[in-house]
Amino acid sequence: MNLYVHFPFCRRKCTYCALRSRAGSSPESRAEYVSRLIKDVPSVPLDTVYFGGGSPALCDLRPLFKALAPHLSPSCEFTVELHPLDVRRETLEALRDGGVNRISMGVQSLDDATLLRMGRGYTVDEAERAFALVRERFDNAGIDLIVGYPGDPCEVAAAESLAGWGLRHCSVYSLILEERSALARQAAKLKFPTDDETMDGIRRISRFLRSIGLARYEISNYAEPGFECRHNMAVWRGEDYIGLGEGAHGRLGLVRTESGRSTTVSPEEDEKERRLFRLRTAEGLDATGRPEWAETLDVFAAKGLLAKNGAVYVLTERGTEVCDSILAELV
Query: What integer pLDDT is reported at residue 33 of this predicted model?
Result: 96
Question: pLDDT under 50 in the chain at which residues?
Answer: none
The set of residues, in sequence order, having a beta carbon less than 8 Å from that of 168 and lying 6+ positions away, is 139, 140, 141, 142, 223, 224, 227
User: Would you state the pLDDT for residue 97?
Assistant: 97
| Residue 180 confidence (pLDDT) | 84
The string of pLDDT tens digits covering residues 125-162 is 999 999 999 999 999 999 999 999 999 987 766 777 89
Beta strand extents in the chain (DSSP E only)? 2-7, 9-10, 22-23, 46-53, 72-82, 102-108, 141-147, 169-174, 215-218, 221-223, 241-244, 249-252, 255-258, 261-264, 285-286, 306-309, 312-315
Please tell me the distance from the alpha carbon of residue 103 to that of residue 315, in angstroms, as a whole number. Answer: 28
Domains and CATH numbers, the chain: 2-233 (3.20.20.70), 280-331 (no CATH)
Q: What is the 3-state secondary structure (H, E, C) of 72-84?
A: EEEEEEEEEEECH
Assess contact for 7 and 60: CB atoms under 8 A: no
- pLDDT of res. 24: 80
Hey, CA dihedral for 299, 302, 304, 307, is it positive or negative? positive
Neighbouring residues of 218: CB distance < 8 A, sequence distance ≥ 6? 232, 233, 236, 280, 281, 282
Phi, psi of 104 (to 5 degrees): -120, 115
Q: What is the largest CA-CA distance in the chain?
A: 58
| Spatial CB neighbours of 31, under 8 Å, sequence gap ≥ 6 | 59, 60
pLDDT in tens, 282-325: 999 999 999 999 999 999 999 999 999 999 999 999 999 999 99
The reported pLDDT for the residue numbered 317 is: 92
Residue 124 is predicted with a pLDDT of 95
